[in-house]
Structure 1
Amino acid sequence: MAQQRIGRLQWGDLQIGPGSRYHVTAVEGLDDMPDIRSDDMERPGQHGDYTGPDYVGARVIQLGLGLRGDSPDELRALTLALRAATQPQRQPEPLLLLDQDTLVYGKIRRRSIPYDAEHLWSTGTAALEVYCADPYLYGLEERSASTVAYSPAAGRTYPLVYSGGGRTFGSAGQSGRITATNDGDSPAYPVLRLDGPIANPSIEQINTGGGLTIDATLGDGEFLLIDTRTRAVLYMGTSPRRSWVRAGATWPLFMPGRNDLAYRGTALPGSPGQQSLLTVTWRDTSL
């Protein structure tokens, strides 16, 4: 269960909190709403505005840290280790707030480690600013569910496959169906993996009526990776195949609560008994 107190953080190999020499003294921006990017326009000759949907900008998290060593030399070593762990980055990295069951992706944009000659014996302070271009707060646990493609001729029931230390993320159902639960407060963007053999696979999101169809054939041992956030479609996980998505697609988006997917396709001749597999992964998502 998530706690109100934030004590344990992890940034790369750097451990912060109980059991370490770094302690959290302040956190700002985690539970705050990022700045709103609105699309409001004045109503000419009338009171009020025309207003459109609101979107949030980047999230900025401020961290206050306390450093505690047993000697000035150890305090200096802690300072150098913190400096080494907070260098400029090319890509965002995960910041794990372990007591909050929360993960964010960010870059260290500012670092302050002041020197106080009057008190600098074995303790010190530091301040970090974490810039999160992606403002979402994610659950630490990546959830997963799988199903084989629906086959009208089979008429069988297959169990779904789950991961996550025994937690239940959905219920078993008929071949070709997945139930996924997003326990967050905002829509979650799932990652879809389609393993052949199958022709023209389609994924329908039953609760919204949306879905997408792939105009291609995947042989045995071939797979397609679909990231619904970036809309990247990667054959064998590396080669772009965005053109395979049939026009008019509505990309799956897991709303808070229960979400139902149906997976269908055409079996390949000469592949009796071999079934295509859809694997869906996601995280609980909030703002």
Structure 2
Amino acid sequence: MAGEFVTGPGLIQFRDLVLGPDPLRWRGLEGWQELPSSDDASAPRSGQHGTLPGPLLAQARTVTLDVLMRVAGDPGAVVDRIERATALVDDETPLVVWLDSRGPRMVFGRVVRCRIPVDRAYRIGTVVGIPIQWSCSDPRRYGLAEQSAVTGLPQAEGGLTFPLTFPLDWGTPAVSGTLTAVNSGYAPTSPIVEFVGPVDTPAMVRLSDGTRLEYDLVLGAGETLTVDTRSQSVRLAGADRLYTATSRSVPEEWFRLEPGATDLAFRAAPGSTDPAASMTVRWRSAYW
């Protein structure tokens, strides 16, 4: 679990490396509490002063940590821990930082720089100024807790059965087929959606404006279609199904949960009403 050893303010964890208590303390953190660089798509006005405001698209976030190592005696074992945790890998890993009363937040990054100075103090276990630097392709910081909500397809209420018997049986309760996702942060976040069959042409619709993700396929009972809007992937049993997006579906990367509450609906082709079908939405609150 990401951040399992981050139990209070002042602690930082990357993989199994925990920074804060001895023997590894940190002295400075750059690139964490600042806006990432951005690309400005504004265009000059024709015949007027100024520009036409365009979207601001955040670039990758770079985080740099300044570490101090203090070991009583030979530093080899501690240095080995640092080198193992900062080895070059292609995949991004959670970097969890807890600074203050707001609790821990994390980014997904990979180490691109680590330098352990070797001088006369190294042999006695004191090393000052160990820079560790991460490159984070997604510049947003996230809450640790992944939230989720689930709903089935819309179902009408069963109603009373005649002739009446007592006590009254009102039948199966109605299902609206909607859910609410709350992003408690102040940056848009990219959800993961799981459609579970049996369902024909599963779709997720944002009720505020009708924006949808919709796929032209039939899911059998228990089959799961997973849509990751961050990585723009659509997979069924590990196979790519991105090509099944309908003409009414927006590109996956465009479907984001803005700060606050977003009402979403699970919809399908007419006649597809099996109560066993479901839609699960998973997300983390996001912060710049």
Q: TM-score range by the shorter chain?
A: 0.7 to 0.9
How many angstroms apart in 1 are the aligned matches of 2:275 and 2:42? Answer: 54
Q: CA deviation at 1:7?
A: 1.6
| Structure 1: segments with no counterpart, 5+ residues | 159-173
Q: CA deviation at 1:24?
A: 1.8
How many angstroms apart in 2 are the aligned matches of 1:118 and 1:230? Answer: 46
- The amino acid of 1:90's aligned partner reads D
Counterpart in the other structure of 1:243: 243
> Does the residue aligned with 1:106 lie in a helix, a strand or coil?
strand
> Does the residue aligned with 1:115 lie in a helix, a strand or coil?
coil
How many angstroms apart in 2 are the aligned matches of 1:146 and 1:31? Answer: 33
Counterpart in the other structure of 2:83: 83
Write out aligned runs for 1:55-94 (5 A). Answer: 55-71=57-73, 73=74, 75-94=75-94
Q: Structure 1 residues 67 and 118, CA, compared in 2 at 3 Å: closer, same or farther?
A: closer
Q: Is residue 30–residue 61 contact of structure 1 (8 Å, CA) maintained in 2?
A: yes
Q: Structure 1 residues 224 and 133, CA, compared in 2 at 3 Å: closer, same or farther?
A: same
Q: Is residue 151–residue 279 contact of structure 2 (8 Å, CA) maintained in 1?
A: yes
Q: What's the RMSD between the two structures over aligned residues? A: 2.5
Write out aligned runs for 1:2-81 (5 A). Answer: 7-18=10-21, 21-43=23-45, 46-71=48-73, 73=74, 75-81=75-81
Check if 1:143 corresponds to 2:156. no
Q: Is residue 7–residue 23 contact of structure 1 (8 Å, CA) maintained in 2?
A: no
Q: CA deviation at 1:43?
A: 4.0
> Does the residue aligned with 1:83 lie in a helix, a strand or coil?
helix
How many angstroms apart in 1 are the aligned matches of 2:121 and 2:217? Answer: 70
Counterpart in the other structure of 1:215: 216
Per-residue CA shift, 1:85-118, capped at 9, x if unaligned?
A: 2111212111111454211011111112112315
Q: CA deviation at 1:119?
A: 7.2
Counterpart in the other structure of 2:164: none
Per-residue CA shift, 1:37-61, capped at 9, x if unaligned?
A: 1124444654323431111211111
Per-residue CA shift, 1:185-217, capped at 9, x if unaligned?
A: 011111000111111222111123211222211
Q: CA deviation at 1:63?
A: 0.2
Q: Is residue 58–residue 134 contact of structure 1 (8 Å, CA) maintained in 2?
A: yes
How many angstroms apart in 1 are the aligned matches of 2:233 and 2:205? Answer: 18
How many angstroms apart in 1 are the aligned matches of 2:60 and 2:68? Answer: 26
How many angstroms apart in 2 are the aligned matches of 1:157 and 1:147? Answer: 14
How many angstroms apart in 2 are the aligned matches of 1:203 and 1:225? Answer: 12
How many angstroms apart in 2 are the aligned matches of 1:213 and 1:49? Answer: 37
Q: Structure 1 residues 202 and 23, CA, compared in 2 at 3 Å: closer, same or farther?
A: same
Q: Is residue 6–residue 24 contact of structure 1 (8 Å, CA) maintained in 2?
A: no
Counterpart in the other structure of 1:199: 200
- The amino acid of 1:254's aligned partner reads L
> Does the residue aligned with 1:67 lie in a helix, a strand or coil?
strand
Q: Structure 1 residues 255 and 17, CA, compared in 2 at 3 Å: closer, same or farther?
A: same
Q: Is residue 65–residue 127 contact of structure 1 (8 Å, CA) maintained in 2?
A: yes
How many angstroms apart in 2 are the aligned matches of 1:6 and 1:146? Answer: 33
How many angstroms apart in 1 are the aligned matches of 2:65 and 2:86? Answer: 12
Q: Is residue 151–residue 264 contact of structure 1 (8 Å, CA) maintained in 2?
A: no
> Does the residue aligned with 2:118 lie in a helix, a strand or coil?
coil
How many angstroms apart in 2 are the aligned matches of 1:85 and 1:147? Answer: 40
Q: Structure 1 residues 78 and 140, CA, compared in 2 at 3 Å: closer, same or farther?
A: same
| Structure 2: segments with no counterpart, 5+ residues | 1-5, 160-171
- The amino acid of 2:260's aligned partner reads G
- The amino acid of 2:117's aligned partner reads P
Q: CA deviation at 1:145?
A: 1.0
How many angstroms apart in 2 are the aligned matches of 1:6 and 1:130? Answer: 21
Identity percentage over the alignment?
Answer: 30
Counterpart in the other structure of 1:122: 125
Per-residue CA shift, 1:117-167, capped at 9, x if unaligned?
A: 157523223111111111111111111111111124658547xxxxxxxxx
**Which moves more between the two structures, 48-57 or 125-134?**
48-57
Q: Is residue 138–residue 283 contact of structure 1 (8 Å, CA) maintained in 2?
A: yes
Structure number with greater Rg is 2
